[in-house]
Amino acid sequence: MVGQVDKCDRCQELGAGTNHWLISFSGMPKYYFHSRTNDTFLPDDRGFDFPDFEAAKREAMTAAREMITEMVLDGDPIDGMRFEVTDESGNVVLTLPFRFVLD
């Protein structure tokens, strides 16, 4: 059952046509990947649908690795960077320091 259909953020930025869409299926839990450093907080206002917590955790680890790669290439520090993953109720279900995904 389709709950929401949105153009993905990247396609909106590029002005792409209607051939690439994100589909949100109702009934799947939504998780929010907030980024935090020691002195900044970047909220995820949109969230992502995953079938379960383990899938959200795997995606958080993958996203952290990708962000680390970009940060290192740009010469940005990664000290203190972490995801705070919350559920739809705002409960923190995972705190993932980026340094943990380097092992």
Type and span of the H or E element at 60: helix 53-74
- What confidence tens digit (pLDDT) does each residue in 33-63 have? 999 988 899 999 999 999 999 999 999 999 9
Query: Is the pLDDT confidence value at 13 over 80?
Result: no
Burial of 85 (0-12, 13-18, 19+ CB in 10 A): buried
Q: What confidence tier does 26 reach under pLDDT thresholds 50, 70, 90?
A: low
Q: How far apart are alpha carbons 72 and 41 in whole angstroms?
A: 20
Strand-strand pairing, 92-97 and 82-86: antiparallel
| CA distance from start to end of the chain | 39
Token pair 């939504």: residue = 30
